Chains A and B, each alone.
Chain A
Amino acid sequence: MKTLNTFLIFIVVSIQSFSQADYNNFLKYYGVQINTGITFFDLQPLKDNFRYTVENFNRNYNLPLQIQKSYPANISWGANVFWYINQRASIVIGTEYTSSRAFSLYEDYSGTLDLKSEIKMYYLYIGFRFHIVETPIVQPFMGMNVGLAKADIDLEVDLNISNSLIKENDHSENSDTGYNIEPYIGCNYNLDFVVLEFVASYNTVHLEKFLIEPNTFNIKLGVKVGVFK
Chain B
Amino acid sequence: MVTGLAALALVSGAGLRVYARQQPVPARGAAPTLTRPASQSKTPDANGFLQRWLILEPIRVPAQLTDSAVQAAVKKEYFPDQLSVMPKDGDVVTVGGEPLVWHAVDTSAYNVNLFHFAYALNKPTSNVLFWAVTVVNAPRELAGVRLAIGSNAASVWWLNGVEVISLYNDRQAVIDDGVSKRVTLKQGPNVIRAGVINAGGATDFCARFLDENGNPVKGITVSLRADAK
Whether both chains belong to one complex is answered with no
A interface vs B, CB < 8 Å? none
